[in-house]
Amino acid sequence: MYLATGDCSRILMCGRSLTIRLLRIASQERSIHMATVVIQRRKGQKHTSYIVRYKDPSTGTPKYYKSFRRLQDAQQAANYLRDLIDNGKTSSIQSARSRMSIMSFREVAGKLADKWKDALERSELRPKTFEEYLSRLQALEKLFDHTLLCEITKQELLNLQKSNLRSTSAVTANRNLFVIKQVFRMGLELRAISEDPAATIRYLSEKAHERNRFLLPLEVEKLVEASRMTKARFYMPALIYLGAEHGTSKQEALSLTWGDIRFDYSEYGMIRFYRTKNDHERSEYLMPRTRDALITWRDHLNILRKRYRLDPMVSDLVFSHADGSPIEEFKSAWKTACRNAGIKNLHFHDLRHTFCSNLILSGADLKNVKEMIGHRDIAMTDRYSHLTMGYKRILQERLSQHYASQT
């Protein structure tokens, strides 16, 4: 069958018209899909961000996808999102992101502060610890202010860590990082972020700032004698012996109860520590001097409570005042005792190092020290390894003298 020239022209014209119509329809559909994905510009105090939002094709509900610092990144994300919608792959859009809420650093920090306040009221957080956390959090709020939490990158946090290290110690930088990590964990709970940029940031090594200060036995006795000349003369010797002979931290000592101590257990008595930093419970025989100091303090408390007609069991805390209120600080008495003993640059926690160091110098190995001090792993005890070499040298000298005496 042959077609006339006029018929061919009409067919070609119809084909062109159909093609144009199809292109128009495709363009309209594309416009509809482009309208379902929008980029919103948000101008902050420090920088501008671009928020990508989209409409759920099935419900028409506007939803949040992600925010970006650069418009180019936001456009790429928007194009990717449009392709998913065009191909009906809306299920590929992360459901977590579709439910995310836009919150600033300050807003999330406020929620975290409320959480800490609740913990404080339930006595799960010490007042001093709460104040320290809150102080660091407020400093971070001034820094990040109304910046969206989802806009803060890992690199920014790493830069902040380096900046902290230039102006403070590794210990302080790590404490700041701890609070930052808490903020972003709260952000995950509140769905303000889908990924935690702080999760993989490591704490800095604090070895350069570790204190290796410890007392020799004669210095311990000198400190105890000096403490007997202070206002805290009845309970300070017990605190010092607990630190130097049992490796007790300040927290462990001040949270001890009389129920944790059994003076009648065997010949020496028994003491139990379980309110520790890492929740590692340990029990030990009481050292004689520690036992005597604790009994002296107990008897003094009983005399005071009898004198003022107070209930002898008004408090079960070992270190409490006559009225039962806890002894929370003894800085003044500690400084006075150190000054009178002629001992400089000594912290109470150094008594814990004193315990470990003298334990090793008396012949104990690192594994024994780890168990007795309550360290979680041997790496924490390894800081005292240099002392084992000193003890080995003493043993070698004794061996040399032994050989010399036999020849």
Domains of the chain, CATH where assigned: 38-97 (no CATH), 105-198 (1.10.150), 217-400 (1.10.443.10)
pLDDT for the residue 385: 57
Are 343 and 223 within 8 A, CB to CB? yes
pLDDT at 49 over 90: no
pLDDT at 245 over 80: yes
pLDDT for the residue 16: 53
**Position with higher pLDDT, 401 vs 315:** 315
pLDDT at 296 over 60: yes
Rounded to two decimals, the pTM is 0.53
344-385 pLDDT, tens digit per residue, is 989 998 998 888 888 877 777 777 777 777 766 655 566 655
Of 135-149, 227-241, 263-277, the range with the lowest mean pLDDT is 263-277
Please count the residues of the chain: 407
Q: Which residues contact 50 (CB under 8 A, 6 or more apart)?
A: 39, 40, 41, 42, 67, 68, 69, 70, 71, 73, 74
Q: Which of 117, 114, 142, 141 is nearest to 130 (CA)?
A: 117
Task: Find the mean pLDDT for residues 65-78.
Answer: 77
Distance, CA of 392 to CA of 396 (rounded, Å): 6
Highest average pLDDT, of 31-45, 142-156, 383-397, comes from: 142-156
Banded model confidence at residue 241, pLDDT cuts 50, 70, 90: very high
Are 241 and 287 within 8 A, CB to CB? yes
100-110 pLDDT, tens digit per residue, is 567 889 999 99
Distance, CA of 292 to CA of 242 (rounded, Å): 11
Of 38-42, 126-130, 392-396, 399-403, the range with the lowest mean pLDDT is 392-396
Distance, CA of 321 to CA of 327 (rounded, Å): 6
Query: What share of the chain in percent tops pLDDT 70?
Result: 77
Q: Which of 34, 10, 33, 191 is nearest to 100 (CA)?
A: 191
Are 374 and 405 within 8 A, CB to CB? no
